[in-house]
Structure 1
Amino acid sequence: MKQIFIILLLFTTTISIAQVQHNFEKGPENTNCHELPPEFANHNEAIKALTSTTFRLKETLSISKHLNPQALRYYSCDGKSGYLVAKETDSTYQVYPQIPYKLWQEFSESKDPVYFYKEKIKTQYSKLPQ
């Protein structure tokens, strides 16, 4: 009986230790954000660099193939601000630097992301030149 109790006690202790949750963030040492130039000449240069960089935070939102924008990606080195790449059509992309992460969160939780994009991002933030 004592053996069963000891085994049960050890098993319970192991389970409670194993349930510790970890929220690991990629630190600067696990990204290559430091290799990004401070500015991009155009959106093609930016897209090429952004898609080949390892970011701390990278999120995607697909909307619809028939709406504008069709999809968006958010890239951030520090988790506070980052780049927003909007796929407006199959061949048209817009890149918006310096988009706050809080705005991206509001956008991704919006009931009408198309309206949010047009009213809060497209009209209020500067995009990179074509």
Structure 2
Amino acid sequence: MFTRSAPTALFRLKFAAGASVHSGHSMSAAASPNSASLPPSKTVRVEIKGRVQGVFFRDWTVENARELGLHGWVRNRRNGSVEAVFSGDPDAVQDMVERRCRVGPPSSVVTGIASFPWNEDPGQGFQRKPTV
């Protein structure tokens, strides 16, 4: 049976054990002790045009993105382009987009690349997705 004194006894136990008591107001993300330890992250969606299908561009992208520790995915588009989302360390994302994808694997010919900010969750790891 639950009595009126049980909550008081529980409070006393927690207080005596050194548990902190707060007013119920949540801490802001900026004041959270864990927020300062999170590394900066950048997420972009990239469209790559040119001879980028049938030249192992997706497999090459998966290999390079994993090497850089990025999260996200890559897939072919029916219009002949390749689309990818890269998320992680801003320098690694920049390297993937500007240095690696701009050139691509040996058999590819990249004629254009466009990068856009992306706010959706890229998921864990780096995946190859089906064509859309």
Both proteins in one fold, TM over 0.5: no
Higher relative contact order (CA 8 A, sep 6+): 2
- Point out the structure with the larger strand share: 2
With structure 2 as the length reference, what TM-score do the two structures score? 0.29
- Point out the structure with the larger helix share: 1
With structure 1 as the length reference, what TM-score do the two structures score? 0.30
